[in-house]
Amino acid sequence: MIFAIPGAAQAATLAATDQSPEDGLVLTGLGLVMSAVGWLAAIAPRFTRTVPSPADDVARTARYVRLAPGVFIGVVAAMLAIVVIFMAVTPRGTSPDVLPIMAFLAAFPVPVGAGMLYSRHLHLNRDRLYSAWLERR
């Protein structure tokens, strides 16, 4: 999904500027295929019946849970600021052939940050999730 979502943003921007959305659609397809392959590669650990190993580094996990939302907001804000600066400073920053690349760059940190926030959710709710997993076993 890391490439699929920015690819979709690029395809939409290409279509909105009367260009062929082919590049964005190829990137979206590539991102979806890569996500599917990654999901299939991790299918065995997802549906295993072996007991998960306990967390060894609780302090690092607590720090991650605390920092993840701020990092997500900071990375998205920084990338948007970079895109706005490029659009304002460069001579062709808002030309129709450059806008799809800017849309890709602006959308890129969103799926990465969403993954961070989902990982944070798993860390915060690990006891409840583990109990539910034990009941299903």
Closest CA to 16 of 73, 96, 89, 122: 96
- Cα–Cα distance, 126 to 80 (Å, whole number): 33
Nearest-10 Cα torsion for 45, 49, 53, 55: 70
First to last CA, the chain: 30
Query: Residue for token digits 């979206």?
Result: 28
Three-state DSSP class for 115?
helix
- Give 46's contacts (C-beta < 8 A, 6+ positions apart): none
- Alpha-carbon Rg for the chain, nearest whole angstrom, is 19
Q: How much is the pLDDT for 18?
A: 87
Of the listed ranges 22-31, 50-59, 87-96, 126-135, the one predicted with least confidence: 50-59
Indicate the pTM of the whole model. 0.69
Checking if the pLDDT of 35 tops 80, the result is yes
Average predicted confidence (pLDDT) for the chain: 85
Closest CA to 108 of 9, 16, 35, 22: 9
Left (φ > 0), alpha (ψ -120 to 50) or beta: where does 55 sit? beta
pLDDT (tens digit per residue) in 76-103 = 999 999 999 988 888 877 788 888 888 8
